[in-house]
Amino acid sequence: MMKKIINITLILFVVLASMPYKVQAEAKTLGELRAAYNEVLRQKQENDNKTEAAKEEIRQKEAAIKQAEADIHKAEQEMEDAQKAIDESNKKIAELKEQMKGILLYYQQMQGGNAYVEYVSGATTMTDFITRVAAVEFVTASVEDSVDELKIEVEKNEQLKVELENKKKALEAQSEEYKKVIQARYSDISQYDKYALNIDEQLEVAKKNLDMNVKKCQDTIGKTSDDVLLSDCTKVPLNSGWLKPLTHGIITSQIGSRWGSYHNALDIGGNPEWTPVYAAAAGEVAARVERASCGGNMLFINVEVDGVKYLTYYYHLIQMNVNVGDVVTQDTVIGYVGGGTTASYDSCTFGAHLHFGVADGWYDIRYPFVNRSKVMTPPGFPNYEGWSFNSRTDMY
C-alpha cells in the first residue's frame, strides 16, 4: 500500500512539474493596461536595484583582488630576498669549507712535523702550553661553528621560502575565487542589463501601447476610463489562414534551448539583407522596438486567425516600415531582413536572417516581449532545422 502511495505521489509530482506555469490573462481593459504599465515600471526599479547591488559586490571583490595581488607581489619579493640570503649563506659556507680544508691540512702537517711541536713546546709555562694547544683547536672549531650557523640560516630561509610559496598559492587561489565571483556578478549584470534593456524598451513600448490604446478608444468610442474594454476599440482584422513571412527560406535554428538560453522563435535564413518581410497574418502593430542589443529592430503584431488571438513577432529587421497602431495585411511589407554585417548593435545575430515567432494570445506589456509559456511553432512550419520553402503558401 505504501509503495502504491509513493508511486502515485511521484507520478503526480512528475505531472505537476511538467505542466506549464500559470500566467495571468492579457489585459482586457484600459485600467488593466495602465496597471500593467505600472508593473513594468516596478520591475524596472527592482532590476535597477539588483544591478547596483551586483556592481557594488564587483567593486568590493576588485579591491580585494588588488590587495591580494599586492600581497602576492610582496611575498614574491620576500621569496627573492630569502633566496638571495640562501645563496649568500651557501657561498660563505663554501668559503669556510675551503678555509677548513686549509686549516685541517696545516693542522695535520703540524702534527706530523716539527712546526706544531715547536709551536707547542715553545710554551714557557703549563698555562701557555694549554693555551697554544687550545688555540689551534679553537681556530678549527670556530670555522666549524660558523659553518653550522650558516647551515641553520639556510634552513630557516628555505623554510621561509616554503611558507611564502604556500602563502602565495593561497593568495592566488583566493584571487581566483574573487575573479569567479566577479565573473558571476558580471554575468548577472549582463542578464540584468539585458533584461534592464528589455525593461527600458518595454517601458517605452508599454507607454506607447497605453497611449495608442487610449487614443484609439477616444477616437472610436469616445471613452478612456479604466473600465473600457480594449476589444471595443480594436482594429485587428480577421484572417482565415496563414502565409509565410518570406517568399522563400530555410530554417537555420529551431525553437527551444540553445546555447544555454531559450530560443523563442524560428530563425529563417537563405536570404540576403533587404529581402522584404511580410506580415504572416493581417493584424495591428502592438509594439515596435528599435536597435535592441539582442534582437535589433523588432515588430510585434496582434493577429486573429479563425477566431483565435495570436501574437506574431519579427526580429533582426534592418528596417521597419510600420508603426504602433498601424493595421497591416498579409501583403504589407512590414520591414526587411537584417542581422548581417550592418547590425553591429545587435549582439544576438551572426548573419542575415529573420527571427520569426508566434505566441498564443495578444501582446502583453507585463512580460518582457514574449511570454515563454505561450510560444508555439508557427502554423505551417515544422520545428526543426533544414526545412525549406519556396513560396509564401508552402505548408509543412
What are the DSSP calls for 83-142, one per residue?
A: HHHHHHHHHHHHHHHHHHHHHHHHHHHHHHSHHHHHHHHT-SSHHHHHHHHHHHHHHHHH
pLDDT at position 162, please? Answer: 86
Asked whether the beta carbons of 175 and 72 are under 8 A apart, the reply is yes
pLDDT at position 194, please? Answer: 44
- Note whether 25-229 and 235-389 share their fold: no
Euclidean distance between CA atoms 205 and 328, whole angstroms: 19
Q: Which CATH architecture has domain 235-389?
A: Distorted Sandwich (2.70)
Q: How confident is the model at residue 23 (pLDDT cuts 50, 70, 90)?
A: very low
Whose CA is closest to 350, among 296, 311, 291, 305? Answer: 296
More confident residue, 382 or 163: 382
Q: What is the mean pLDDT of residues 361-370?
A: 71
> How buried is 199 (Cβ within 10 angstroms: 0-12 exposed, 13-18 middle, 19+ buried)?
buried
- The pairing of strands 238-239 and 296-305 is parallel
Q: What is the pTM of this model?
A: 0.55
Neighbours of 212 (CB within 10 A): 19
Whose CA is closest to 60, among 146, 182, 151? Answer: 182
List pLDDT tens digits, range 119-136. Answer: 555 555 565 555 555 656
pLDDT above 90 (res 263):
no
Residues paired with 268 in a beta bridge = 251, 354
Q: What is the mean pLDDT of residues 316-338?
A: 94
Q: Where are the domains of the chain?
A: 25-229, 235-389
Q: Does domain 25-229 have CATH number 1.10.287?
A: yes
- Which backbone phi and psi does 349 adopt, to 5 degrees? -145, 145
List pLDDT tens digits, range 191-230. Answer: 554 434 466 777 777 787 788 888 888 888 899 899 988 8
Average pLDDT, the chain: 79
More confident residue, 115 or 361: 361
Residues paired with 283 in a beta bridge = 303, 328
